């Protein structure tokens, strides 16, 4: 039975990854940080096959211990401060976890895997935020980076140090440059879920306004379930390499809102939406659109859910959750 170790198992991608690897017959280990972490309960209840291991990306000895327990064949480093907007407020913490945390993880892999005959395969979650103020349209593996946030800067370090450890020590390390990927498990702070949840709540009459920032930014949105499969496919290659994972389609936030309200059955979306400067970012990433030709050709990866399918899946999920909540409130 192959063994996999996931950092960030409590997040959207970690949950999808745990589910996917379990379905492939892996023994799954998931790192959970902190004392009394409320998200640990979700993993215990919904993913009972995950072996929970304590550890923190800020603490190298804890990573070494966690890997000694898990003895993994594959490591997926999905943990990070992942909310770009927060990274301006907590820039140092973001650098420490999203950036230097990758270095610690790589060191732990070297120490536990052994430096000469290291069999551990390592996946780093790199991000399209590294392209930032884009130098090329669409963006591929050779597009230069120009990050626009402390988060993007930290991800560039994580990406570069992964490549460097592969080149310096022959570590079996891949980096996946993933464009935005969403789904029903997305946190409410991210724009897709904020919009689909609001559309559902407005439809049900329990919310009357949606307050957003920049409606003009363009993103290449895919489905998280499709994207974790790409991560796994990267680690099944003969040689480690880096890949862009994207749909190749881009849409504005405005198009997202329009479609989500349409799916929810709410007409005249503009009358519900207000813009507030507090949701604008000090430096914005205006346009992301990825070219995943390399992944399609070398890995045989193709996204199965398109933008319209993704928005529908998320709105329908939110309608279900919110109507259940509304019914509960009525009976309380
Ligand atoms: P992003 O995702 O920063 O692209 O990073 P997010 O959904 O937060 O923002 C996308 C775009 O929407 C605009 N926007 C708003 N965003 C939020 N969160 N809330 C709002 O009210 C709002 N109004 C407009 C933003 O300005 C931005 O342009 C995501 C994260 O998952 C990263 O961790 C990951 O690396 C990248 O995707 C790929």
Express each pLDDT in 38-49 by its tens digit: 999 999 999 999
pLDDT digits (tens, 9 = 90+) for 198-232: 999 999 999 999 999 999 999 999 999 999 999 99
User: Based on the domain organization, do 164 and 272 belong to the same domain?
Assistant: no
What is the CATH classification number for the domain harbouring 92? 3.40.50.720
C-beta neighbour count of 211 within 10 angstroms: 13
Q: What contacts 114, CB < 8 A, 6 or more positions away? A: none
What average pLDDT does this structure show over 309-325? 97
Instruction: Note whether 126 and 178 are within 8 A (CB).
Output: yes
Task: State yes or no: is 129 an active-site residue.
Answer: yes
Taking the centre of ligand 1 as the mean of its atom positions, its distance from the CA of residue 188, in whole angstroms, is 11
Tokens coding 228: 């974790």
CA gyration radius for the chain?
20
CA 203 to chain centre: 28
- The SS3 call for residue 244 is strand
Number of domains in the chain: 2
User: Based on the domain organization, do 52 and 197 belong to the same domain?
Assistant: no
Counts of helices then strands in the chain (DSSP H, E): 12, 13
Torsion, CA 238, CA 244, CA 4, CA 12, rounded to 10: -170
List all residues whose CB is within 6 A of at least one atom of ligand 1.
82, 84-85, 127-129, 179-180, 189-192, 194, 212-214, 217, 219, 253, 279, 281, 284-285
User: Based on the domain organization, do 229 and 317 belong to the same domain?
Assistant: no
What is the CATH classification number for the domain harbouring 203? 3.90.25.10
pLDDT digits (tens, 9 = 90+) for 92-135: 999 999 999 999 999 999 999 865 566 899 999 999 999 999 99
In terms of pTM, does the model score above 0.95? Answer: yes
User: Based on the domain organization, do 54 and 148 belong to the same domain?
Assistant: yes
Whether residue 141 is contained in a domain is answered as yes
Range of the domain at 211: 191-218+250-287+305-331
């Amino acid at each position: 039975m192959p063994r996999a170790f996931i950092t960030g198992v409590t997040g959207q991608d970690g949950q999808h990854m745990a589910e996917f690897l379990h379905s492939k017959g892996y023994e799954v280990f998931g790192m959970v940080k902190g004392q009394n972490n409320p998200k640990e309960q979700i993993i215990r209840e919904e993913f009972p096959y995950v072996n929970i291991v304590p550890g923190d990306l800020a603490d190298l000895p804890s990573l070494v211990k966690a890997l000694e327990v898990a003895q993994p064949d594959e490591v997926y480093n999905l943990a990070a401060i992942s909310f770009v907007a927060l990274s301006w407020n907590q820039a140092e913490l973001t650098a420490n976890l999203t950036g230097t945390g990758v270095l610690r993880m790589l060191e732990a892999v070297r120490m536990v895997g052994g430096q000469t005959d290291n069999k551990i395969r390592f996946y780093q979650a790199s991000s399209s935020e590294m392209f930032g103020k884009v130098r090329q349209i669409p963006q591929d593996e050779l597009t230069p980076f120009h990050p626009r946030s402390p988060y993007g800067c930290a991800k560039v370090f994580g990406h570069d140090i992964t490549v460097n450890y592969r080149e310096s020590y022959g570590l079996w390390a891949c980096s996946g440059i993933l464009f935005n990927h969403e789904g029903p498990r997305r946190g409410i702070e991210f724009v897709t879920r904020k919009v689909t949840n609001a559309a559902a709540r407005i439809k049900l009459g329990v919310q009357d306004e949606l307050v957003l920032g920049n409606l003009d930014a363009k993103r290449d949105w895919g489905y998280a379930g499709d994207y974790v499969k790409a991560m796994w496919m990267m680690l099944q290659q003969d040689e480690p390499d880096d890949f862009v994972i994207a749909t190749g389609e881009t849409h504005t936030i405005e198009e997202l809102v329009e479609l989500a309200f349409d799916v929810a059955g709410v007409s005249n979306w503009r009358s519900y939406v207000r813009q507030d400067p507090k949701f604008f970012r000090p430096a914005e990433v205006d346009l992301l659109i990825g070219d995943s030709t390399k992944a399609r050709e070398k890995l045989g990866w193709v996204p199965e859910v398109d933008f319209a399918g993704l928005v529908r899946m998320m709105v329908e999920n939110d309608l279900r959750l919110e109507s259940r909540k509304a019914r509960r409130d009525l009976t309380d």
